[in-house]
Amino acid sequence: MPNTLLTISMITREALRVLENNLTFTKLVNRQFDDRFGVEGAKIGTTLNVRKPPRYVGRTGQPISIEDATETQVPVVLNTQRGVDIQFSSQDLALSIDDFSDRFIKPAIASVANAIDFDGLKQYTAVFNSVGTPGVVPNALLTYLNAGVKLNNNAAPLDGERYIVINPQMQATIVDALKGLFQASTQIAEQYRKGEMGESIGFSWYMDQNVATAVIGPGGGTTPAATVSSVGAGGTTLVTAGWTPSSGSILNVGDTFTIAGTNAINPQSRQSVAQPQQFTVTAAATATGGGSTISVSPPLIAAPAQFATVDVLPAGGAAITVTGAAGQQSPQGLAFHRDWITLACADLPLPGGVDMAARVSDRQLGMSIRLVRAYNISTDQFPCRLDILYGWAPLRPELACRVQS
């Protein structure tokens, strides 16, 4: 029976399937696919606005009290185009799709999948809640239980869509610490024999080598603590004083801190949860004469306002405590609900004037891959480029919690 040459559509479909199988963190989050970009021809910088639901205060008693339905939007910028470039001969095209996938597609897709996952896990900087101690790998289940408390206090849904993603050392440490709690006959014991957590404490657990590592800024672990002078308009900045070092860089993007006397609230009841509200730094901060204006998330909005984040605004002179010591490296595991972040992917245009071009889009996966093939008559080679265009954007950072180690 004569060989059947592989078509570009077969190769592209296989590439999409392999990409899905290689993703870890990305498979667990909200993924958006907008087919209108396929018509318009998506390109770097295209923006998709994702709407967030309104939040209402409610009323007590019979008299009606109309509230404005305020929808907010989060822009998802398609700012990353990943790809890999390969070439193969006409003889290679006579292989079965399984052989071709093993030789060409899987090695190429592995680099793309890892890059997508790593880009997503780097979004930890938007997450303000955290548990654990930088520099100390968690070896007790309580650390992860406390991550669940953070999600519960922020009204994260209990719908089976909660996940924990940690690095290999964090996984090994917690599996070893808890191995004596399970009997060999249970399903969980089988997961332990494989060195994996599986499902536990309301989360599905995954290991991902792409978990990002934070480096605490020079202002971490300072004594005495810096203090709040005032809260900027809109609550997105803090005017502060008393930093050590008194000049130069003090905080990196993603550093977290708390403020004495300012507690987190439940977003629905707007009642204090009796735990300090944590904040993340959204822009690198420098000090001059010990003073600095710091950009923060979430914005400081006092209850009972519609979008309140804290029970009270910090008083002048309230102490700031940065999580971790200056220069400390800290892998940032994540405990989260799938809706805390989104990956948006769109169709890339198919060019003309080439040997072949194909695109495969899967709305359920939220993925779209383009493969373009040319032909080199001198060498009988088919140079190919495989591309995917996407963007990450945190939608509701309150539905995630870092697990620092």
Angle formed by the axes of helices 168-178 and 141-153, nearest 10° = 110
166-185 burial, b at 16+ Cβ within 10 Å, e below that, comes to bbeebbebbbeebeeebeee
Strands 130-131 and 400-404: parallel
Structure tokens at 260: 């004495």
Q: What is the dihedral of CA 6, 9, 10, 12, to 10 degrees?
A: 120
In DSSP terms, which residues pair with 342 in a beta bridge?
A: 30, 393
Please say whether the beta carbons of 281 and 254 come within 8 A. yes
Closest CA to 218 of 284, 126, 282, 135: 284
CA distance 279 to 263: 11
DSSP category for residue 103 = I
Please say whether the beta carbons of 341 and 29 come within 8 A. yes
Please say whether the beta carbons of 293 and 237 come within 8 A. yes
Query: Distances from the Cα of 186 to the Cαs of 18, 119, 192, 349, in angstroms?
Result: 32, 36, 10, 51
Cα 28-151-230 angle, rounded to 5 deg:
120
Query: Domain 217-327 has what CATH class?
Result: mainly beta
Enumerate residues 6+ apart whose C-beta is below 8 A from 364.
Answer: none
Residues in the chain: 405
- Return the amino acid letter for 29: V
Please say whether the beta carbons of 316 and 5 come within 8 A. no
CA distance 131 to 405: 9
Structure tokens at 273: 């949860």
Q: What is the pLDDT of residue 1?
A: 37
Q: Residue 112 burial by CB count (10 A; 0-12/13-18/19+): exposed, middle or buried? A: buried
Closest CA to 343 of 127, 79, 146: 79
CA distance 270 to 209: 38
Please give the backbone phi and psi of residue 145, each rounded to the nearest 5 degrees, phi first: -60, -40
Q: 3-class SS at 147?
A: helix
Please say whether the beta carbons of 112 and 368 come within 8 A. no
Q: 3-class SS at 138?
A: coil
Enumerate residues 6+ apart whose C-beta is below 8 A from 214.
Answer: 124, 125, 134, 252, 254, 255, 329, 330, 331, 332, 404
Question: What CATH number labels 128-208+331-339?
Answer: 3.30.2320
Measured over all CA atoms, what is the biggest interatomic distance in the chain, rounded to whole angstroms?
83
* Model confidence, pTM: 0.85
For residue 314, the Cα-to-chain-centroid distance in whole angstroms is 29
Q: What is the pLDDT of residue 181?
A: 59
Q: What is the dihedral of CA 134, 279, 281, 120, to 10 degrees?
A: 70
DSSP category for residue 319 = B
Residues of the chain with pLDDT under 70: 1-5, 32-42, 51-60, 62, 65-71, 180-197, 364
Question: What are the domain boundaries of the chain?
Answer: 8-123+342-390, 128-208+331-339, 217-327
CA distance 165 to 7: 37
Q: What is the pLDDT of residue 89?
A: 78
Q: Residue 338 burial by CB count (10 A; 0-12/13-18/19+): exposed, middle or buried? A: buried
Enumerate residues 6+ apart whose C-beta is below 8 A from 98.
Answer: none
